[in-house]
Amino acid sequence: MKKLIHLRQVIAELIAAGWLNKYSVSAGLFVVWMLFFDKHNFFTQWNLRRSVHHLETSIQEYGEQLADAEAAHKDLMNNKEKFAREKYLMHRPDEDVFLFQ
């Protein structure tokens, strides 16, 4: 009961001081509505920003993988015989293949 009386006194003091009027109440309700109840609330925006960040990171990683694949393709087109010998162990009939690991 004392807490309720104390709360009423605090509210009365705020009203008397001019801090609690219809504009401040409207602004407070607007902020609460935008943070929690709106379709585009704070938590939704937070999750969307996080997913955008993850997608941008993925774009960078795929760009690096693409550059590596293009370099490997260019090497393959320039050195087809080397690629066949190293990857598939192809050799001429009169050659011997030795593998070192």
pLDDT band at 79 (very low <50, low <70, confident <90, very high): confident
Say what the pTM is: 0.53
Instruction: With beta carbons less than 8 A apart as the criterion, state whether 91 and 85 touch.
Output: yes
CA distances from 66 to 24, 29, 61, 71 (A): 55, 50, 9, 9
pLDDT reported for residue 18:
74
pLDDT reported for residue 66:
98
pLDDT reported for residue 68:
95
Domain edges within the chain: 1-38, 40-90
Q: Using one digit for the tens of pLDDT, what is the confidence trace for 20-59?
A: 788 888 998 998 888 888 888 888 999 999 999 999 999 9
